[in-house]
Structure 1
Amino acid sequence: MSTPNVPCGLHLNSIDDLTGYPVFPEGTKSLLSKFNTREIWEKYKDKRDAYNVPYKLCIFSGVKNLDSGIGVYAGSHDSYKVFSDLMDQIIAYYHKHKPEDKHVSDMDASKLRCPPLMSDEAAMIVSTRIRVGRNLEGYPLAPGVTKEQRHEIMEKVVRACSTFVGDLKGTFYALEGMDEKTKNQLIADHFLFKEGDRFLEACGCNRDWPSGRGIFHNADKTFLVWVNEEDQLRIISMQKGADILAVFERLSRAANHIESVAKFSHDEHLGYITSCPTNLGTALRASVHIKLPKLAKRKDEFQAIADKYYVQIRGIHGEHSGSVGGVYDISNKRRLGRSEVQLVQDMYNGIKAMITREKEL
């Protein structure tokens, strides 16, 4: 017998309140509202993945937060298999990546084709930043991980980071019990991450905050690892200026080293496994802050170049923010079905085209 309807929204406090089929109000745009049919709900409503994470928890963020874009967080690698009737549709819609498609990862920086920019072009770029998200094999993802598992993950990452040498060598800072001086310095450096937002709160990612979480950075402050934020690792390489190859090379070297010590969760269909389906594949975001005041005045032309090279335009404070002083954040749009090298290449090709047009104007 099918379950009754339950209206979605903020009045739902936990998955215990989800006693029937979630009904979204008209105008809801999330992919969960699009694909979570009554048939799929009836099939999965009482199911759990291999790590005991319930289907209801995987969809609860989108059921509670009606302004979600996706509305789904996987509780483990197994969630993508056990709840495949929903997950496959979301992945195919968002990434154009079908169930039979394969993903090939490639972090070999020597394959990147990005000749140094001319001095007047490089002067347009304020800073470069490339990051990847990673999770360890053999553990559930953030919605399903226990406090003890979170500490095990942190210990493994700290152990891996302690073996860095040369320019990657640095220090790990646990968030729990952090002294004010360290905290203030990490805030000043824009390194400190905060407790997750209401979307992450709803799927259980914020439990036990700040226990089992921390930050590693190198002495030069050009390399950073966040431990147990949305994903178990967020590996970040950044520096002032336009040397994209140097930033990607550092990131590749660091990620490959960590993976040699602590194996990442990965498969040939989905690539690197992440909690949010949008990050699957590479979980890579390569971006520059770049000054394009003339091109920015021609919004349609600006967007056309972005679309041609698979990049997205954001304000300098992220999505939906505005530009400051004609500076924009330009980053790769694709994640899954293309390698890390190809996605950094997307970003380089896109900004090169934008710079060329800015100079013409």
Structure 2
Amino acid sequence: MLDKHLSHTLSDWMQQETEQPIILSSRIRLARNLENFVHPLMYDEQTALEVLEEVSAVLKPHYEEVRLSALDKNERQILVIKHLVSKELLAQDHGAVFLNEDESVSIMVNEEDHIRIQVLGPELSLDELYSKALAVDSLIDEKLTLSFDETLGYLTTCPTNIGTGLRASVMLHLPGLSIMNRMGRIAQAINRFGYTIRGIYGEGTQALGHVYQVSNQLTLGKTEEAIIEDLKQIVEQIITEEEGMRKRLKDYDYIETADRVYRSLGVLKYAQLITAEEASLRLSELKMGIDMGIVEPMPFRFNELMVAIQPPFLATLEEAIPVNEKRAKMLREHL
């Protein structure tokens, strides 16, 4: 099954007949640590291996174990691009991830915390994903003793995760708000309520293709259910504002918006060289044009192409050709 995880650009859970205009995916992540071991930032090699063996004994009967030490650099990057592991896990010599068949569940071991349970799903499905994450959490808790304080909650390496250890996030496609320069105002507004907007690959990354990740910052002092409910309300408000910006672009700036969309379509269909950054932008503007009815629907899977244009996937194609040329060729053939 490992070949499937590394060769398929789109996880099975993302295989939908139609893509949503704004919501791309949802995620629930739970941070957990084992009581009898120091946190990973204080590891020596032996401790890392002991933690991995204890967690593996619990998870291996249910999930496929992928140890990063068995992967080359490109294969590791593929897992990051598909959101199955974090960039931080790649820095760990004895890191591993446990995956289910459709890649909707990934459990990282020896990242910033001993265990990070991640469950992914389409649309705004946070409640369902939280239930799935709790099932994994219970499986681990039955066999291993987790680090927990009656007053503080789950104890984590980073103080911002102490409490529930929960990070809930939703991936959104927001070209209207980006084009109208409203993202800064949105970020300031939700920050006051303990939520934040990050780039496509989380903290410290840029918003490629107008794709943003909205998530909670605080995990202490609120229940998991309250964090999720508040995030859903914030996301619904952002969606309303994005829809308003798209309507304004179509009603009052139609020619400029159509020109932007058709220029992107032209670049994608005819460019001989294109960077990942430009390709992301052009794909985003084409998706916006299709969703707004400016361009006729066509065979076009935004989520899949946003993964396929990244260097790790292109590296396996015709090695003698420069990556920007490979990317342009792939996009021409697709469109």
TM beyond 0.5: yes
Task: Give 1:146 shift.
Answer: 3.7
Structure 1 match to 2:40: 142
Structure 1 match to 2:150: 268
TM-score norm. by structure 2 comes to 0.59
Q: Matches of 2:110 and 2:187 in 1, distance apart?
A: 35
Q: Matches of 2:218 and 2:99 in 1, distance apart?
A: 27
Aligned amino acid, residue 225 of structure 2: V
1:130 to 28, 33, 39: 28
Change (3 A) 1:322 1:162: closer
For structure 1, the 5+ residue unaligned runs are 1-119, 164-168, 198-205
Task: Give 1:192 shift.
Answer: 4.7
SS in 2 for 1:264: coil
Q: Matches of 2:87 and 2:204 in 1, distance apart?
A: 20
Change (3 A) 1:321 1:192: closer
Change (3 A) 1:154 1:282: same
1:219 to 76, 98, 101: 101
Q: Matches of 2:73 and 2:183 in 1, distance apart?
A: 44
SS in 1 for 2:233: helix
The answer to whether the Cα contact below 8 Å between 2:24 and 2:172 also exists between their aligned partners in 1 is yes
Structure 1 match to 2:313: none
Structure 2 match to 1:210: 93
Q: Matches of 2:222 and 2:51 in 1, distance apart?
A: 28
Aligned amino acid, residue 66 of structure 2: Y
Q: Matches of 2:77 and 2:125 in 1, distance apart?
A: 29
Within 5 Å, which residues of 2 pair with 1:328-347? 328-347=212-231
Q: Give the % identical residues.
A: 31
1:351 is the counterpart of 2:235 = yes
The answer to whether the Cα contact below 8 Å between 1:310 and 1:350 also exists between their aligned partners in 2 is no
Q: Matches of 1:181 and 1:313 in 2, distance apart?
A: 28
Structure 2 match to 1:323: 207
Structure 1 match to 2:125: 243
Task: Give 1:298 shift.
Answer: 2.7
Q: Deviations over 1:104-143 (max 9, x none)?
A: xxxxxxxxxxxxxxxx995310111221211001211123
Within 5 Å, which residues of 2 pair with 1:169-208? 169-178=62-71, 183=76, 186=79, 189-193=82-86
The answer to whether the Cα contact below 8 Å between 2:35 and 2:146 also exists between their aligned partners in 1 is yes
Size of the aligned set, in residue pairs, is 226
Task: Give 1:333 shift.
Answer: 2.2
Q: Matches of 1:305 and 1:263 in 2, distance apart?
A: 39
1:256 is the counterpart of 2:131 = no
Change (3 A) 1:155 1:311: same
Change (3 A) 1:151 1:312: same
Q: Matches of 1:175 and 1:303 in 2, distance apart?
A: 35
2:166 to 284, 299, 317: 284
Change (3 A) 1:143 1:323: closer
The answer to whether the Cα contact below 8 Å between 2:89 and 2:110 also exists between their aligned partners in 1 is no
For structure 2, the 5+ residue unaligned runs are 1-17, 246-335
TM-score norm. by structure 1 comes to 0.55
SS in 2 for 1:143: helix
